[in-house]
């Protein structure tokens, strides 16, 4: 199923790019100047807008879904208006947009480096307890995001037979059960020993995931347990910062992201890191 959807989405993007390239060629043949830079702006802008439209039909609506279109629309505007932006307000607007995109690219590079470095720190971690951070469930079924986290937890626990797992997450809107109970059910169905899985069913956010899970771990091991946590790879850095704020010394183990959400989640996480930095949490 994953491969089929990849092919469908790739086909949509190829068709969009092909149509735009053909349109630009026809436009030039009719005597209208259209530079290569404007063509790049047009294609990139439209592709980003189409990406938002596609993902909005496949995922819950959030900031990450709309951010590609947020960056794409100005590029389409530039593609058509760039020759006229040589004086007055339009000239000011052109340079303002250039500065904003330059700053955004700088932020993406810095945040991307932090995310990659944090995701690689947990490759060989040895832990007594692993906290799996919750994510939305549909009814009582785990989503692809959460499934990837749980598969990572199962793999880790199979390799570390003395470790326990705390699945953490309360019950949100549209969920018929707590995230933690759905997570434990999934792991047990895939052969994990239920006695090794502890449920933390009160947490509503990442801060509470660590706060409440630490209480459970302390009851089992005392205060000196080696702790790791599992979350989606892009989220490891910021989750680690939250853990430290709660006094939890934990190493992050990355789980794969859902392939069609990678751009959206990356952009949203960059915003999250900036917000945390501005608040002084990082």
Residue pLDDT, tens place only, 7-31: 788 888 889 999 998 988 888 888 8
- What is the per-residue pLDDT for 222? 85
Evaluate whether residue 107 is within a structural domain: no
Co-location of 172 and 63 in the same domain:
no
User: pLDDT tens-digit profile of 42-92?
Assistant: 999 999 999 999 998 877 778 889 999 999 999 999 999 999 998 999 999
Total-model pTM? 0.86
Identify the pLDDT of residue 63: 87
More confident: 105 or 57: 105
Confidence of residue 3 (pLDDT cuts 50, 70, 90): low
**Is 103 inside any structural domain?**
no
Tell me, yes or no, whether 249 and 171 share the same domain.
yes
Residue 172 has a pLDDT of 79
Pick the closest to residue 53 from 275, 266, 260, 253 (CA basis): 260
Q: Which two tokens stand for residue 207?
A: 């801060």
CA distance 163 to 197: 10
| pLDDT 10s digits, 224-249 | 899 999 999 999 999 999 999 888 99
Q: What's the Rg (C-alpha) of the chain? A: 23
Q: Are both 143 and 232 inside the same structural domain? A: yes
Alpha helix ranges (H) inside 165-230: 179-189, 206-221
CA-to-CA distance for 202 and 217, rounded, in angstroms? 15
- Is 140 within the bounds of a domain? yes
Q: Do 137 and 75 share a domain, yes or no? A: no
Q: How confident is the model at residue 2 (pLDDT cuts 50, 70, 90)?
A: low
- Supply the range of the domain harboring residue 79: 2-84
Do 255 and 144 fall within a single domain? yes
Residues 77 and 166 both lie in one domain: no
- Does residue 156 sit within a domain? yes
Q: Considering the domain boundaries, does residue 108 fall inside one? A: no
pLDDT single digits (tens) 199-223:
999 999 999 999 999 999 999 998 8
Indicate whether 73 and 141 sit together in one domain: no
Select from 84, 102, 128 the last residue of a domain.
84
Say which CATH number the domain at 156 has.
Answer: 3.40.50.620
Pair 75, 165 in one domain: no
Question: Is residue 244 one of the residues assigned to a domain?
Answer: yes
Q: Is residue 101, in this structure, part of any structural domain at all? A: no
Name the domain boundary from 26, 58, 84. 84
C-alpha–C-alpha distance, residues 186 and 137, integer Å = 11
- Please check whether residue 102 lies inside any domain of the structure: no
The model's pLDDT over 163-202, given as tens digits with 9 standing for 90+, comes to 999 999 998 777 789 999 999 999 999 999 999 999 999 9
- State whether 66 and 200 are in the same domain: no
Q: pLDDT confidence of 99, banded at 50, 70, 90?
A: very high
Taken as a whole, the chain contains a residue count of 282
| 99 strand-pairing partners | none
Q: In this structure, are 60 and 179 located in the same domain?
A: no
Same domain, yes or no: 161 and 254:
yes
Residue of higher predicted confidence among 96 and 4:
96
Tokens of 200: 């933390």
Domain end residue (candidates: 59, 84, 109)? 84
Three-state DSSP class for 255?
strand
One domain, residues 204 and 273: yes
Our count of domains for the chain comes to: 2
């Amino acid at each position: 199923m994953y491969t089929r959807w990849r092919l469908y989405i790739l086909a949509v993007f190829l068709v969009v790019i092909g149509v735009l390239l053909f349109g630009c060629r026809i436009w030039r043949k009719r005597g209208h100047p259209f530079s290569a830079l404007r063509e790049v702006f047009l294609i990139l802008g439209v592709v980003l807008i189409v990406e938002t439209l596609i993902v909005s039909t496949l995922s819950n609506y959030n900031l990450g879904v709309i951010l590609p279109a947020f960056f794409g629309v100005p590029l389409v505007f530039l593609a058509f208006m760039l020759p006229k932006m040589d004086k007055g307000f339009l000239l000011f607007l052109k340079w303002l947009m250039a500065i904003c995109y330059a700053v955004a690219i700088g932020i993406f590079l810095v945040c991307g480096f932090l995310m990659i470095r944090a995701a690689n720190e947990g490759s060989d971690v040895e832990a007594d307890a692993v906290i799996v951070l919750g994510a939305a469930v549909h009814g009582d079924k785990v989503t692809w995001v959460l499934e990837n986290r749980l598969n990572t937890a199962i793999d880790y626990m199979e390799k570390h037979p003395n470790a326990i797992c705390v699945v953490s997450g309360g019950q949100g809107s549209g969920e018929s059960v707590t995230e933690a109970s759905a997570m434990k059910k999934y792991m047990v169905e895939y052969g994990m020993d239920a006695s090794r899985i502890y449920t933390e069913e009160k947490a509503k956010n990442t801060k509470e995931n660590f706060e409440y899970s630490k209480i459970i771990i302390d009851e089992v091991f005392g205060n000196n347990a080696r702790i790791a946590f599992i979350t989606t790879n892009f989220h490891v850095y910021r989750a680690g910062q939250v853990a430290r704020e709660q006094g939890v010394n934990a190493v992050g183990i990355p789980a794969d992201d859902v392939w069609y959400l990678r751009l959206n989640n990356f952009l949203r996480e960059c915003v999250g890191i900036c917000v945390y930095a501005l608040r002084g949490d990082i």
